[in-house]
Structure 1
Amino acid sequence: MSKRHSAKFKIDRRMGQNLWGRGKSPVNKREYGPGQHGQRRKGKVSDYGAQLKAKQKLKGYYGNISEKQFKKVYFEAIRLKGDSSENLIGLLERRLDAVVYRAKFVPTPFAARQFVNHGHILVNGRRVNVASYRVKVGDVIEVKQASKQLALVLEASQSAERDVPEYLEVDHGKMVAKFVRTPGLTDVPYPVHMEPNLVVEFYSR
Structure 2
Amino acid sequence: MTNIINRKYRISRRLGINLWGRAKDPVNKRKYPPGQHGTLGFKKLSDFGKQFAAHKKFKFYYAISSKQLRSIFMDAYTKKGYTADNFIGFLESRLSSILYHSGLVPTIYSAKQLVSHKHVTVNDKIVNISSYRAKPGDVVKIRERASKIPIVEEAIQRQERKLPDYLEVSHEERSIKYLRVPKYSEVLYPSDMEVNLVVEFYSR
- Bin of the TM-score, shorter chain as denominator length: over 0.9
1:119 is paired with a residue of what secondary structure? coil
Distance 1:5 1:75 in 2: 30
Give the CA RMSD over aligned residues: 1.4
2:169 is paired with a residue of what secondary structure? strand
Query: What's the CA shift for 1:158?
Result: 1.8
Aligned to 2:107: 108
Aligned to 1:82: 81
Aligned to 1:187: 186
Amino acid at match of 2:68: Q
Percent identity at matched positions? Answer: 47
The answer on whether the counterparts of 2:32 and 2:41 sit within 8 Å (CA) in structure 1 is no
Query: What's the CA shift for 1:41?
Result: 4.3
Q: TM-score, normalised by structure 1?
A: 0.95
Task: Confirm whether residue 52 of structure 1 aligns to residue 52 of structure 2.
Answer: yes
| Offset from partner CA, 1:137-189 (integer Å, 9 cap, x none) | 00000111111111111111121321211100111111111000111111111
Aligned to 1:175: 174
Task: Confirm whether residue 19 of structure 1 aligns to residue 19 of structure 2.
Answer: yes
Distance 2:36 2:104 in 1: 38
Aligned to 1:154: 153
Aligned to 1:133: 132
Amino acid at match of 1:190: Y
Structure 1 residues 155, 43: CA separation in 2 closer, same or farther (over 3 Å shift)?
A: closer
1:81 is paired with a residue of what secondary structure? coil
Distance 1:73 1:43 in 2: 30
| Offset from partner CA, 1:12-52 (integer Å, 9 cap, x none) | 00000101111111101100001122122444321101100
| Offset from partner CA, 1:64-97 (integer Å, 9 cap, x none) | x011111110111101111111111111001000
Distance 1:179 1:140 in 2: 6
Distance 1:198 1:62 in 2: 17
Instruction: Number of aligned residue pairs: give it.
Output: 203
The answer on whether the counterparts of 2:167 and 2:179 sit within 8 Å (CA) in structure 1 is yes
Aligned to 2:68: 69
Q: TM-score, normalised by structure 2?
A: 0.95
1:39 is paired with a residue of what secondary structure? helix
Distance 1:162 1:96 in 2: 17
Aligned to 1:143: 142
Query: What's the CA shift for 1:203?
Result: 1.2
1:105 is paired with a residue of what secondary structure? coil
